[in-house]
Amino acid sequence: MTLSCQYVYDALAGRGISFYAGVPDSLLKSFCAYVTDHTDPSRNIIAANEGSAVALAVGHYLATGEIGLVYLQNSGLGNTVNPLTSLADPEVYGVPVLLLVGWRGEPGKKDEPQHVKMGRVTAASLDAIGVQNAVLPDTEAEAAAAIDAAVESMRSRCAPFALVVRKGAFAGYQLQSERKPRYDMSREQALALVLDSLPAGAAVVSTTGMPSREVFELREQRGESHDADFLTVGSMGHSSQIALGVALAQLDRPVFCLDGDGAVLMHMGGLATIGSHGPKNLKHVVVNNAAHDSVGGQPTVGHDIDLCAIARACGYTAALLAESPDQLRSKLGELCAADGPALLEVRIKKGARPDLGRPTRTPSHTKDRFMEFLRK
C-alpha cells in the first residue's frame, strides 16, 4: 500500500496544519513536491537547515496558534536537537511542532553507509530528547488515525511529535511547478573542467550527494586515482570545514573544496570562518543549480542571492562567477592563480544523467587512502 500525497495533505489541513518548513528528503520528495505545488510560498519555506525549520514552525505557532509541520531526513535530526530541546520542549516554551521524518537506513533495508547508523537509532534519538514518535502507516485510514494521535499528543503535552516515514510510503507525485532552466551547463561538465584545472598535488574535498558521485565517476572514466579525493558522505554543509582543516594543517598544499549551493546555505557561517582564518591555499568551488538535486530537485535560493558578494564580505580574497564552459575555463585559471581563500561560483542547470553510479569504495577506504595521499 502507498499513501496518496493529496490524502495526507488534506488530512493535515483538516486538522489545522497548513504551514510547512523543512529541508527536502528523497523519501519525502513526492509529498514535498505536492506541498510545493499546492501551498503558497509564504507557507512552505525550504529552510537553510532543519533547526531553522523548527524555529520557523515555532514562530508561526506564536503568531497564529496553528501547529506547523517540519519535513526532514532523519540525518537532519541532529540539526533539530537544539531548538527541539531548548525552545519547543514543554520544559521551556512548550510549542507543538509536527515532524515528518524520512527514515533512511531503516534496519533490514539496504541503504548507503552514511544512513545505516542514523537509521538504527532514529527512534532512540527521538526518545532520548523526549519527542514522542510513531511510524506513519501506509494505509489511509491508519494514517489518519496516526495524525489524529499526533495532534492530540502535541496539544495535550504542548510538545513536538514525530511521524517517521518508511521508504515507499508515499505514492509518486511529480513536481508541476518546475522553474525554467536559466543555464545550460551540467554539474558533471563543470566538475570535469575543475578536475582538468587542478594543480599538481592538490587535495579535493567534495560535498555529499551528486557532486561526490560525479567526481568518482569522472575519475573512473579517466582511469585516474581516487586517492587525492575525500568524497564526503552525509555531513551536509560541512565539507568546507573539512577542507579548511586540511588546508590549515598543510599550508603548502592546494586544497579544493567542491561544494553545492544547498550545502553552503545550510551552514553559511562556515564562509566567515574560512575568511577569518584566510588560508592562501584553499579554493572553494560552489556548483550552484538552485536545487536540492540529490533528494528530488526542490528549489533553494541559490540563484536569488549574490554568493560572491557574501564570500567577499566574509573575508575571501577573491570571488568569481562563471555561467558557461568558456567562462569557467577562464575563471578556473584566475582561481588557481589567486591567493586564497578564493571562491568560484559556477551556475549550472539541475539534474544528473540517469545512469550515474555510486562510489564503489567504502568511506573508511576513502579516508585511509586520502590520509596516505596527504602524508606524501
What is the pLDDT, as a whole number, of residue 355? Answer: 86
Q: What distance in Å separates the CA atoms of residue 363 and residue 232, rounded to the nearest whole number?
A: 8
pLDDT digits (tens, 9 = 90+) for 153-181: 999 999 999 999 999 999 999 888 767 77
Band of pLDDT at residue 1, cut at 50, 70 and 90: confident
Band of pLDDT at residue 293, cut at 50, 70 and 90: confident
Share of residues in the chain with pLDDT > 70 (%) = 100
pLDDT at residue 52 tops 80? yes
Spatial CB neighbours of 69, under 8 Å, sequence gap ≥ 6: 12, 17, 19, 20, 21, 22, 57, 97, 98, 99, 100
pLDDT digits (tens, 9 = 90+) for 206-245: 998 889 999 999 999 999 999 999 999 888 999 999 999 9
pLDDT at residue 299 tops 90? no
pLDDT digits (tens, 9 = 90+) for 190-215: 999 999 999 999 999 999 888 999 99
What is the pLDDT, as a whole number, of residue 242? Answer: 97
pLDDT at residue 296 tops 80? no
Q: What does pTM read for this prediction?
A: 0.91
Band of pLDDT at residue 292, cut at 50, 70 and 90: confident
Secondary structure of residue 122 in the 3-state scheme: helix
> What is the average per-residue pLDDT within 305-324?
97
What is the pLDDT, as a whole number, of residue 359? Answer: 86
pLDDT digits (tens, 9 = 90+) for 111-125: 888 889 999 999 999
Q: What is the mean pLDDT of the chain?
A: 95
> What is the average per-residue pLDDT within 274-296?
91
pLDDT at residue 77 tops 90? yes
Band of pLDDT at residue 291, cut at 50, 70 and 90: confident
Q: What distance in Å separates the CA atoms of residue 228 and residue 200, rounded to the nearest whole number?
A: 10
Band of pLDDT at residue 294, cut at 50, 70 and 90: confident
> What is the average per-residue pLDDT within 322-342?
96
What is the pLDDT, as a whole number, of residue 175? Answer: 85
What is the pLDDT, as a whole number, of residue 209? Answer: 87
Least confidently predicted of 131-140, 269-278, 326-335, 357-366 = 357-366
Band of pLDDT at residue 323, cut at 50, 70 and 90: very high
What is the pLDDT, as a whole number, of residue 258? Answer: 98
What is the pLDDT, as a whole number, of residue 169? Answer: 96
What is the pLDDT, as a whole number, of residue 111? Answer: 87
State how far Cα 110 lies from the chain centre.
21
Residue by residue, what is the 3-state secondary structure of 197-245?
A: HCCCCCEEEECCCHHHHHHHHHHHHHCCCCCCEEECCCCCCCHHHHHHH
More confident call, 288 vs 350:
288
More confident call, 353 vs 341:
341
Contacts for 81-88: CB closer than 8 Å, 24+ residues apart: 81/51, 81/129, 82/51, 83/51, 83/54, 83/55, 83/58, 84/54, 84/129, 84/131, 84/160, 85/129, 85/130, 87/54, 87/55, 87/58, 88/54, 88/58, 88/159, 88/160
What is the pLDDT, as a whole number, of residue 62? Answer: 98
- Set out the domains of the chain in order of their start, with CATH numbers: 5-165 (3.40.50.970), 187-375 (3.40.50.970)
> What is the average per-residue pLDDT within 279-286?
98
pLDDT at residue 68 tops 90? yes
